[in-house]
Amino acid sequence: MASNEFQPLQGMSDIQAPEIYLWRMMEERARAVFTSYGYDELRTPVLEKLSVFQRSLGDTTDVVKKEMYSFKPSKHELAMRPEGTAGTMRHLAGRGEEGLSARVFYIAPMFRYERPQAGRKRQFHQVGVEATGEPNPLADAETIAMQKSLLDAWGLTGSKIQISTRGEPSDRKPVADGLRAALQPHLNDLCADCQRRIDENVLRVIDCKNEGCQTIVDQIPSAIEFMSEASRTYLDQVIQTLETMGVEVTVNPKLIRGLDYYVHTVWEISHSALGAQDALAGGGRYEIALGRKAIPGVGFAIGFERAIMALEACGISGEQFAPVNGVWLVSLGETALVENMKLAAELRAKGIRCGMELETKSMKAQMRKANRSGATKVIIRGDDEIEKGTAIVKNMVEGSQEELNFEEVIRNA
Partner RNA sequence: GUGAUUGUAGCUCAGUUGGUUAGAGCGCCUGAUUGUGGUUCAGGAGGCCGCGGGUUCGAAUCCCGUCUUUCACCCCA
Residues 216-255 that bind RNA (CB under 7 A): none
- Total site size for RNA, rule CB under 7 A: 75
| Residue 124 to residue 13: CA distance in whole angstroms | 9
Residues 167-196 that bind RNA (CB under 7 A): 193
Residues 347-406 that bind RNA (CB under 7 A): 361-365, 367-372, 380-385, 392, 394, 396-397, 399, 401
Q: Which is nearer to RNA, 71 or 101 (CB)?
A: 71
Rule CB under 7 A: choose which of 247, 306, 337, 356 binds RNA.
306
CB of 324 to RNA, least distance (A): 12
CB of 199 to RNA, least distance (A): 13
* CA distance to 99, 210, 282, 378, per residue, from 307 (Å): 30, 27, 12, 37
CB of 134 to RNA, least distance (A): 22
Rule CB under 7 A: choose which of 91, 103, 112, 285 binds RNA.
112
CB of 7 to RNA, least distance (A): 6
Told to check if 303 binds RNA by CB under 7 A, we report yes
CB of 142 to RNA, least distance (A): 19
Q: Which is nearer to RNA, 213 or 227 (CB)?
A: 213
Q: Which is nearer to RNA, 29 or 204 (CB)?
A: 204
Told to check if 114 binds RNA by CB under 7 A, we report yes
Residues 12-71 that bind RNA (CB under 7 A): 12-13, 61-63, 67
Residues 134-153 that bind RNA (CB under 7 A): none
Told to check if 87 binds RNA by CB under 7 A, we report no
- What's the residue count for the chain? 413
CB of 292 to RNA, least distance (A): 26
18: number of CA atoms within 13 Å, CB side? Answer: 11
Told to check if 272 binds RNA by CB under 7 A, we report no
Rule CB under 7 A: choose which of 22, 247, 332, 354 binds RNA.
332
Told to check if 281 binds RNA by CB under 7 A, we report yes
